[in-house]
Amino acid sequence: MTRPVHFQLTDDQRALRDGVRELLEGRFGRQALRTALDTPGLDRTLWRELGEAGFFALRLPEAEGGVGVGLPEAVLAFEQAGRVLLPGPLVATHLAADARVPGAATGEAVVTAVQGGLVEWLDEADVVRGDASGAVPLRSVDPLTPLHRVPDGGGTAPPDVPLAVLLTAAEQLGSASRTCELAVQHARTREQFGRPVGAFQAVKHLCAGMLERVGTARAAVYAAAVTADPLDIAAARLLADEAALHGARDCLQVHGGMGFTWESDVHLHLKRAWVRARRSGDVTESEEILAGDLLADLPGATV
């Protein structure tokens, strides 16, 4: 019996995921990440390369020069971006390409958006979606995400907010998965008391907890990518935020003193995860949406 199996990636999806990972690891590997830390501003060359590779135009029809794939593919791509901590208003520009904002699809334009009372990369943006008037710069906790605060919250939210939340959740998932790997690598190689620290259950259980959260969040995020249901997206957001925030904290803990240094990448994951969690608005909103759902018809368990 031939059938599409739930959750198994198709060959095309696998190829796309691997292709994006290769591109990003090649073009924005650890060295580039550390260089970006010391180089203010957005790398426009990289931005155009992302555009040429179709990162922003993934979901545009092929007739319009897009890649013509769907939300699941976009989620796979953003997961990879989250893994390498790719900087820039990626979600806003991707959604702007959807809305046919000129130059967004090709990476000619950098597009940002007012989200959760903040604007990322305002000084680098060619286009701002939402009302950013009166925006005041703040000293961003994430060295790779310049931020402005919008005094009155930035007015009404654009209609593509659930998609922004989902793609952000995909980035959180990628980061969570990466911090789990970093923690495991460290636990395998760092020796104390004459053996790898990962041989101690206290450390082992931190790592197992990270994988548990990544696995659960991945199921939620991929399912939301298939259904695009606002409730699934709200659930995916909560699970992915938890996996990224808690994962980065535990990764830092596993790294011990080194985890507290600027030289380690762990803090970059944690700080970006804080920024992304804010981008999706108040957690309370997602929780209230999901609470309200409980009073609707009894939740059906089928897809």
Nearer to another protein by Cβ, of 114 and 166: the residue is 166
Q: Is 293 in the site for another protein (CB under 8 A)?
A: yes
Tokens read off for 228: 């695009």
Nearer to another protein by Cβ, of 173 and 270: the residue is 173
State in angstroms the smallest separation of the CB of 101 from another protein.
28
The secondary structure element, H or E, covering residue 129 is strand 127-129
274 class by beta-carbon count within 10 Å (0-12 exposed, 13-18 middle, 19+ buried):
middle
173 class by beta-carbon count within 10 Å (0-12 exposed, 13-18 middle, 19+ buried):
buried
Q: Is 77 in the site for another protein (CB under 8 A)?
A: no
Stretch that binds another protein, among 89-97, 120-128, 153-161, 179-187 (CB under 8 A): 179-187
Q: Is 187 in the site for another protein (CB under 8 A)?
A: yes
Q: Is 244 in the site for another protein (CB under 8 A)?
A: no
- List the interface residues with another protein, window 201-220 (CB under 8 A): 201, 203-205, 207-209, 211-212, 215-220
CA distance 241 to 185: 23
CA distance 254 to 85: 20
Q: Is 67 in the site for another protein (CB under 8 A)?
A: no
Nearer to another protein by Cβ, of 144 and 223: the residue is 223
- Per-residue binding string, another protein, 268-287, x by CB under 8 A, is ----------------x-xx
Cα 96 from chain centroid (whole Å): 17
CA distance 203 to 301: 36
CA distance 33 to 29: 6
Sole binder of another protein in the list 30, 34, 48, 188 (CB under 8 A) = 188
- In the chain, the amino acid numbered 59 is R
Sole binder of another protein in the list 199, 264, 274, 281 (CB under 8 A) = 199
- Which residues lie closer than 8 Å to 224 by C-beta, 6 or more apart? 166, 169, 232, 233, 235, 236
Sole binder of another protein in the list 42, 53, 69, 225 (CB under 8 A) = 225
- Which residues lie closer than 8 Å to 207 by C-beta, 6 or more apart? 180, 183, 184, 187, 198, 250, 254
State in angstroms the smallest separation of the CB of 70 from another protein.
9
Binding site for another protein (CB under 8 A): 1, 3-10, 13, 72, 180, 184, 187-188, 195-196, 198-201, 203-205, 207-209, 211-212, 215-220, 222-223, 225-227, 231-232, 234-236, 238-239, 284, 286-295, 298-299, 301-303
